[in-house]
């Protein structure tokens, strides 16, 4: 490529030859020059647009309003967070109460298992219940708050129902146990023999026919006399004809008497258990030797102790 320059004087001209690299340099130079002119024009013309640019300046009032809005949103978030914490605390409290009730049910169930003499492992309340099953291929979503509350309420209703059932069973077993303890059966001594039956007999002092309201068990002086059923001591001391006497009330109108004792080891008002030692054998009162006079009474009328002595314990 040739570039020809023509001078102002005498019409003289001068030619220059440019290669391809030179042409590229010239083109780039022209582009840079035009860009520079455009930038200068923008900056020169910028002052004329100053009025429109002032419309985008943020005022202090707007900044203050934004800050107030942000502060209000922060307070709302803090309030929502506090409400969420209160709800979580309430659910945690309910779970704690339910956990305590479950522990009580476990203890009650364990006690009933022992009382009922169930096989070991049949109802083991000391371990977690075994559960399982296949899982769906699509994993479910977490419970919502309302669903969780409904689930807790349903579990709580089940707990109340189970508590009532177990308490009823416990009462039934307790009543059976009490009835067993109050059931008059067996002899009031550990060893010895029946020396006089219930009914009419020859009086050992006068030789005449006389009514004998109990049975006599002869034995060794100082040997144990035991309650034939559980009950409350209503007499513990000397009584005319009986010598030292212990009388025990067993409820339902039943009571038993243990007479001619050498020593009484219980007091009036004491609660005694079946088989508990209540006195020592002796010969106090109207007696011919160491023995215990044993009576069974219902509604102030004596019964033949023989059927109580020989019947099986419950």
Which of 9-23, 89-103, 191-205 has maximum average pLDDT?
191-205
Between these two residues, 51 and 306, which has the higher pLDDT value? Answer: 306
Residue 58 belongs to some domain of the structure: no
Residue 130 belongs to some domain of the structure: no
Residue 53 belongs to some domain of the structure: no
The values of phi and psi at residue 104, to 5°, are -65, -40
Residue 82 in this model has a pLDDT that exceeds 70: yes
Residue 275 is encoded by which pair of tokens? 């088989």
Residue that is written with structure tokens 């303890």 in the block: 181
Same domain, 111 and 152: yes
* Confidence category of residue 220, pLDDT binned at 50, 70, 90: very high
Residue 139 belongs to some domain of the structure: no
Residue 88 belongs to some domain of the structure: yes
- Give the domain range for residue 105: 73-123+147-182
The domain that holds 275 is classified in CATH as 2.70.70.10
Residue 62 belongs to some domain of the structure: no
Same domain, 197 and 172: no
User: Mean per-residue pLDDT for 53-70?
Assistant: 72
Residue 141 is encoded by which pair of tokens? 């979503």
Which of 32-41, 52-61, 258-267 has maximum average pLDDT?
258-267
DSSP states along 264-277: E---TT-EE-TT-E
Which parts of the chain fold into alpha helices (H)? 20-45, 50-53, 60-115, 145-182, 306-310
Same domain, 235 and 265: yes
Same domain, 103 and 29: no
Same domain, 201 and 306: yes
The values of phi and psi at residue 118, to 5°, are -75, 155
Same domain, 232 and 153: no
Same domain, 204 and 272: yes
The reply to whether the predicted model has a pTM over 0.85 is: no
Same domain, 277 and 229: yes
User: Mean per-residue pLDDT for 73-77?
Assistant: 83
Q: Give the total number of structural domains in the chain.
A: 3
Angle between helices 60-115 and 145-182 (to 10 degrees): 20
Same domain, 24 and 116: no
Reported as a single tens digit per residue, the pLDDT across 240-297 is: 999 999 999 988 889 999 999 999 999 999 989 999 999 999 999 999 999 999 999 9
Same domain, 176 and 242: no
Same domain, 246 and 295: yes
Residue 174 belongs to some domain of the structure: yes
Percent of the chain whose predicted confidence (pLDDT) is above 70 = 63
Determine the longest span between alpha carbons in the chain, in angstroms.
Answer: 191
């Amino acid at each position: 490529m040739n570039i020809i320059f023509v001078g102002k004087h005498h019409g003289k001209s001068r030619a220059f030859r440019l290669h391809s690299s030179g042409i590229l340099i010239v083109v780039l130079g022209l582009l840079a020059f035009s860009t520079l002119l455009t930038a200068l024009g923008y900056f020169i013309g910028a002052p004329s647009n100053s009025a429109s640019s002032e419309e985008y300046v943020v005022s202090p009032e707007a900044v203050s309003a934004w800050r107030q809005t942000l502060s209000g949103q922060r307070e709302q978030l803090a309030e929502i967070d506090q409400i969420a914490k209160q709800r979580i605390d309430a659910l945690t409290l309910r779970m704690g109460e339910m956990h305590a009730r479950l522990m009580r049910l476990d203890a009650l169930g364990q006690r009933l298992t022992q009382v009922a003499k169930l096989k070991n492992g049949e109802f083991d309340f000391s371990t977690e219940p075994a559960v399982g099953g296949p899982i769906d291929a699509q994993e479910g979503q977490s419970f919502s708050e309302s669903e969780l509350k409904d689930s807790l309420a349903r579990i709580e209703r089940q707990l109340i129902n189970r508590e009532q059932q177990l308490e009823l069973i416990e009462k039934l077993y307790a009543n059976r146990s009490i009835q067993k303890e109050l059931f008059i059966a067996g002899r009031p001594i550990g060893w010895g023999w029946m020396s006089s039956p219930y009914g009419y007999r020859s009086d050992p002092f006068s030789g005449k026919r006389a009514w004998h309201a109990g049975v006599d068990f002869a034995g060794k002086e100082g040997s144990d006399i035991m309650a034939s059923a559980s009950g409350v001591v209503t007499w513990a001391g000397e009584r005319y004809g009986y010598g030292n006497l212990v009388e025990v009330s067993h409820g339902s109108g039943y009571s038993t008497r243990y007479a001619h004792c050498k020593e009484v080891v219980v007091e009036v008002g004491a609660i005694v258990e079946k088989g508990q030692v209540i006195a020592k054998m002796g010969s106090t009162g109207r007696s011919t030797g160491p023995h215990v006079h044993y009576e069974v009474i219902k509604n102030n009328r004596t019964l033949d102790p023989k059927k109580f002595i020989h019947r099986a314990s419950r």
